[in-house]
Chain A
């Protein structure tokens, strides 16, 4: 039909900022919003964190007992270094909390993904910024827990300046690697709807080959060799060892390089799977 209305052209959108300024604003504002949101739930966050401490404390007590029964150390780890390892573990574990495949299931099932697809930015930026903001709350809440653990278990911890700097970058590197990989895993939801079983398999591999259960140097050599080529140790064991040691300066930088490599691999996988997944989602409906 012929359209004869008085308005002759649609209105322009509001002028936008440069691409980089937009991303900066997105990360800053989403981070701020996340901090505000997480402080709203500070009590439940705190109980969640306290619950999370139980796992490393069990490992710590078991390994300290074994160390004492072996004349004071196991493969160079004394009760003090075990204490340092598992107390730093608690911080690294919190840095490793990212948007999970269960979140993806909810996002697709509840139609939340549609809202995100309508935004003019890739949704991963929102998730990265959201969970990064959460880390600031987590660190504030973690400090008193760490203080109690330090008093209770007396860790041996004396990192160099280089170790401390590398640790700072390594925990954020670990955060990015885990975010990307679990995003890729979560996107399987586009094809299967339920992705929980796959996540459990990932979780088991991570548990054994990351340094979460036990420091990697206590694992058999073949397991250490396999783990070197997988992403898990770079998200858990490496950041902890970077601060606690023992570690050569050269290995600190190799570790950071490996993290950079896995971030690049993760970003590439996110781009590929996202493109295909959205095509699939758009074909079957959301």
Chain B
């Protein structure tokens, strides 16, 4: 730590506004729209600022329609910003220069770029040709990805015969064959079972460790974020609500903590409702939801007034914190 990292992604005052047609339902409205087409501006991203350094893995969180995918598309050059400045690896993404495109990848969990009827190895060869990768380097990288993702014989089967999870693994391998330094991962574990999610998470972590790649990841599965991202950026209604350490997110937004108390005398029903929001989770176990500011006082009272066998204090689950962040909506400033 302590070494100043080079900035890989720099976003300054970035905004994107879409002009969308407006039409009411019904025949009248349909005829009227022939003569007078109405539109309105929808702001998808508003004055967003952040920087990401080399080798960082950052979680990009927000509810549906928050502006995550729009931002990823601008970062990968698919969308032109309405205003603001952004650079990725020193390139302006919207120019889509060859050197830029050879150093990034965008994986979208719901998109398929593989040849459906052919084995994945054929798609890999096509990828080599498209990216102009030299044979020797390509072979090493391909074999490494096959090993890291535990693809084995899957690459010899037609893609249409693979399960969703297997296909996603192959899709990710295909997207990384040119060894991109920046990965934009948009819901890479969408719809996958828990085992496959874990496999993909550990792969992303290993890829980041091995190649020092920068990763910007969106996911609705908080397990992905907790496993991979030290830092998170939370976006809502196109604005950044939080940018900082994942642990700081709880400190800042969680209004309460959970105290779990196990009493020495089994079967003893203890009423703790005067100390917080209490619920019995076992015969002799009570959980208390307590305001953060009251945690020390309540803990002291529990230990002094009751025969406590065990006591734990926990932050709320990160999903609950995120929900709280979205509910609060207009939290002040960037962290």
Which residues does A use to contact B, with CB under 8 Å? 1-17, 19, 21-22, 25-26, 28-30, 33, 36-37, 40-41, 111, 114-115, 117-121, 126, 279, 282-286
Contact = CB atoms under 8 A, between A and B. Distances in A.
A5 B209 CA distance: 12
Interface stretch (B99-107, B259-267, B317-325): B99-107
Contacts, number: 164
A121 B1 contact: no
Given A10-B181, A26-B132, A114-B108, 15 more contacts: A2-B4, A3-B52, A3-B56, A4-B4, A8-B3, A14-B131, A33-B123, A37-B117, A115-B111, A118-B76, A119-B130, A120-B132, A279-B80, A282-B77, A285-B70
Contacts of A283: 79-80
Contacts of A16: 102, 131-134
A29 B135 CA distance: 13
A29 B117 contact: no
B73 interface: yes
B131 A40 contact: no
19 contacts: A1-B243, A1-B244, A3-B7, A5-B3, A7-B53, A7-B212, A8-B5, A10-B54, A10-B182, A13-B99, A14-B133, A15-B133, A21-B132, A29-B126, A114-B111, A119-B130, A120-B132, A121-B98, A121-B130
B122 A36 contact: yes
Contact of A12 (B3, B7, B181): B181
A283 B81 CA distance: 8
B182 A29 contact: no
A5 B55 contact: yes
Contacts of B106: 114, 118
A146 to B, nearest CB: 27
A115 B175 CA distance: 10
Nearest to B123: A33
Contacts of A8: 3-6, 54
Contacts of A282: 77-80, 94
A1 B243 CA distance: 9
A33 B112 CA distance: 17
B26 interface: no
A189 B103 CA distance: 29
B141 interface: yes
Interface string B231-250: 00000000000011000000
Contacts of B18: 284-285
B33 interface: no
Nearest to A279: B80
B19 interface: yes
B257 interface: no
B79 A285 contact: yes
A284 to B, nearest CB: 7
B119 to A, nearest CB: 9
Contacts of B111: 111, 114-115
A17 B133 CA distance: 6
Contacts of B205: none
Contacts of B94: 282
A3 B53 contact: yes
Contacts of A36: 118, 122
A21 B123 CA distance: 19
B86 interface: no
A34 B141 CA distance: 24
B134 A10 contact: no
Nearest to B79: A282
Contacts of A11: 179, 181, 211-213
Nearest to A125: B130
B115 A33 contact: yes
B180 interface: yes
Contacts of B213: 10-11
B333 interface: no
Contacts of B99: 13
A161 B106 CA distance: 52
Contacts of B126: 29-30, 33
Contacts of A19: 132
B214 A10 contact: yes
B129 interface: yes
B178 interface: yes
